[in-house]
Amino acid sequence: MKNKQKTRIVAVPVIQEQMRREEINLRKEYGMYLLDVSKLIVGGAVITTAIQLNTDKFLIITIAVSIAVFFGIFGFIVLTFKKK
């Protein structure tokens, strides 16, 4: 049999730092996702009006732009918000 060495598990600050970095990366990815969704909403509205699937083009564009602005602002807030 091999001699087993006793090992101690010690909480290392490096692990805590890695967890903070992963949390920041997750926040960044979520912010980028929201910005992408806002672009897709505007693109969908433009395609819908170009194909003439709806008779009221002004209403579709207005709703899409307002939702896209909301998602865009929320995405920038998530990207720039820093946890203390």
pLDDT tens per residue across span 23-73: 667 888 888 999 999 999 999 998 988 888 878 889 989 999 999 999 999
Most confident of 8-12, 18-22, 46-50: 46-50
Q: Please name which of 57, 37, 38 lies closest in space to residue 46, comparing C-alpha atoms.
A: 57
To the question of pTM greater than 0.85 for the whole model, the response is no
Q: Please name which of 78, 84, 81 lies closest in space to residue 30, comparing C-alpha atoms.
A: 78
Which pLDDT score is estimated for 71? 94
Domain spans of the chain, in order of start = 29-80
Which pLDDT score is estimated for 33? 93
Which pLDDT score is estimated for 18? 66
What does the DSSP 8-state code read for residue 55? Answer: S
